[in-house]
Chains A and B, each alone.
Chain A
Amino acid sequence: MSLKNSVLCTILGLALISSCKKEDDKTETPTPTYTVPTTYKGFTNVDYTEATVVLGMTSAVSTEIAKGTGTAPATVPVPLNASTLKNMLTNSGNPFGNTIYDASGFQIQANSIAIAHTQTESYIDSLVMVSNTNAVAANGVAGLGITQNARRLLLTKNGINYAQILNKTLMGDLIYYQIAKRVLDNSLDNTTPVTGKNYTAMEHNWDLAFGYWSVPDSFPTVLTPVKFWGSYSNQVNGGLGCNAIVMNAFLKGRAAISNKDLTTKNEQAAIIVAMFDKMTAAAIIRELKECDVDIAANDMVQLVNHLSEAKAFAMSMKNNKNSGRVITDTQIETLLGFIPQNLWNTSLTDLTNIKTFIANVYGFTPTQMANM
Chain B
Amino acid sequence: MHYFSKSGLVIIVFVIVMFGSCKKDTNGDNNADAFDRKVMLTNVGNNLIVPAYNNFQQAVIQYDSSVTDFCQNPDASKLLTLQQKFKLAYIAWEYCCSFEFGPAEQLYLSKSVNTFPTDVTQINSNIQAGSYDLNAVMNLDAKGLPAFDYLLFGVGADNSAILIKYTSDGDAGKRKQYLMDLSADTKNKIGAVVAQWKDGYLDAFINNTGTDIGSSTSYLYNEFLKSYEGLKNYKFSLPLGRMAGQTTTSPEKVEAYYSGISGELAKHHWNSTKYIWEGRDLNGVDGAGFQEYLASVEGGGTLITQTLQQQANIEATFAALPGGKLSDIIIQQFDKADAINTELQKLTRFYKSDFSSLLGIAITFNSGDGD
Give chain A's interface residues, CB within 8 Å of chain B.
1-2, 5, 8-9, 12-13, 16-17, 19-20, 38, 139, 221, 231, 235, 238, 241, 244-245, 248, 286, 289-290, 292-293, 295-296, 298, 300, 303, 344-349, 351-352, 366-371
Contacts and interface: CB of A to CB of B under 8 A. Distances in A.
A295 B111 contact: yes
Interface in B344-371: 364, 366-369, 371
Interface of B: 3, 6-7, 9-11, 13-15, 17-22, 28, 105-108, 111-112, 115, 133, 135-138, 140-141, 212-215, 218-219, 364, 366-369, 371
A16 B106 CA distance: 39
Contact of A367 (B14, B28, B108, B137): B28
Contacts of B6: 1, 38, 221
A161 to B, nearest CB: 12
A13 B135 contact: no
Contacts of A346: 136-137
Given A9-B11, A298-B141, A20 B366 contact: no
Contact of A1 (B7, B115, B212, B369): B7
Given A16-B19, A295-B137, A370-B214, A290 B366 contact: yes
B136 A345 contact: yes
In the A-B complex, the 8 residue pairs with the closest CB atoms: A20-B22, A370-B214, A16-B18, A367-B214, A5-B7, A347-B135, A348-B108, A347-B136
A293 B28 contact: no
Contacts of A292: 105, 108, 366
A344 B17 CA distance: 43
B17 A345 contact: no
A345 B138 contact: yes
Nearest to A19: B22
B24 to A, nearest CB: 11
Nearest to B365: A293
Nearest to B101: A370
Contacts of B20: 241
A290 B215 CA distance: 20
Nearest to A218: B6
Contacts of B135: 347-349
Given A20-B21, A295-B108, A38 B7 contact: yes
Nearest to B135: A347
Nearest to B210: A367
A295 B7 CA distance: 45
21 contacts: A1-B7, A1-B10, A5-B7, A20-B22, A38-B6, A38-B10, A221-B9, A231-B369, A245-B17, A289-B366, A292-B108, A293-B367, A296-B111, A298-B140, A300-B138, A347-B136, A348-B107, A348-B135, A348-B137, A367-B215, A368-B214
Nearest to B119: A298
Contacts of B107: 348, 352
A235 B369 contact: yes
B136 A20 contact: no
A303 B137 contact: yes
A292 B111 CA distance: 10
B138 A17 contact: no
Contacts of B14: 9, 12-13, 16
A84 B255 CA distance: 51
Nearest to A38: B10
Given A12-B11, A345-B133, 5 more contacts: A38-B6, A303-B137, A345-B138, A349-B135, A352-B108
B238 to A, nearest CB: 12
B140 A295 contact: yes
B281 to A, nearest CB: 27
Contacts of B7: 1-2, 5, 9, 38
A139 B138 contact: yes
Contacts of B11: 5, 8-9, 12
A349 B134 CA distance: 11
B138 A344 contact: yes
Nearest to A283: B369
A244 B19 contact: no
Contact of A16 (B15, B28, B138): B15
Contacts of B366: 289-290, 292-293
A16 B17 CA distance: 10
Contacts of A20: 18, 21-22
